[in-house]
Amino acid sequence: MNPRKLVTVTIFLAGLVALLFPVVLRAQDPQRIRGQITRVDANSAVVKTADGKTVRFALADSTTVFVLTKASFNDIDFGTYVGAVSERMGDDKYSPILRDSLSWLYRGFELRIIEEKLRGIAVGHTKWDLSPNSTMTHGWVDDVEDRVLSIKYGPTDAEETDVEIGPDVPISKMALGDKSFIRPGAAVAVGLTKGAEGGSVAQFIFVGKDGIVPGL
């Protein structure tokens, strides 16, 4: 596909997904917890976090479930929609991808290859809670140089992030799931918001399969 047409189609789909998923990852900045499901019923679940805390939260009709399965760098192609947690490597580290001007290089900590029906979800470049300087970037792969991906999230040259995906960086495929995946023993990452009555409500839940632990 012509690159300009790909950009146009992607931006259109991003707007479409924003309409289909109005609360996922965007409605408000959620509190994120990671751990293992210890108990679940029709309306709530309990997670034990890595530091031993027990967190109970409600499961709403609007709670969106995503499933993560194993993937590899070879599954990535031009135009693939991805999400990456990364951190800028330093003032003297530049991307090997050639452009009219130098671009900063980011070190990737996790990469998710997102299924096509979710293309456009959470598109953009935002702060993340892994570290004070970490970011989450969602966009489409616009260029590849060795293991460096150019992740583009808009039509201008400034709207892209170059992320190095090292051999040890976990790579997973992300697909839409349902609440049947929320079961005791499942490794999860949960985004929580405050409900109308003050309790925590799950906005989204990432569930790992095939040994995947959604730690980021």
Backbone angles phi, psi at 18, to 5 degrees: -60, -35
pLDDT attached to residue 198: 85
Q: How many residues does the chain have?
A: 216
For the chain, the C-alpha Rg in angstroms (whole number) is 18
Look-up: residue for tokens 């751990």?
35
As a whole number, the mean pLDDT across the chain is 88
Taking alpha carbons only, the member of 11, 20, 9, 112 closest to residue 64 is: 20
Surface-to-core class of residue 37, CB atoms within 10 Å of its CB (0-12 exposed, 13-18 middle, 19+ buried):
buried
pLDDT attached to residue 8: 41
pLDDT in tens, 62-102: 999 999 999 999 999 999 999 999 999 988 999 999 888 88
Mean pLDDT of 149-160: 94
pLDDT in tens, 9-62: 444 444 434 334 434 444 457 899 999 999 999 899 999 998 999 999 999 999
Mean pLDDT of 171-183: 97
Taking alpha carbons only, the member of 112, 95, 115, 96 closest to residue 104 is: 95
What token pair was written down for 175? 């697909």
- Answer yes or no: pTM beyond 0.75: yes
pLDDT attached to residue 100: 82
pLDDT in tens, 186-206: 999 999 999 888 899 999 999
How close are the terminal C-alpha atoms of the chain, in Å? 33
Quick one: DSSP state of residue 133? T
Mean pLDDT of 129-137: 91
Q: Is 26 helix (H, G, I), strand (E, B) or coil?
A: coil
pLDDT attached to residue 75: 97
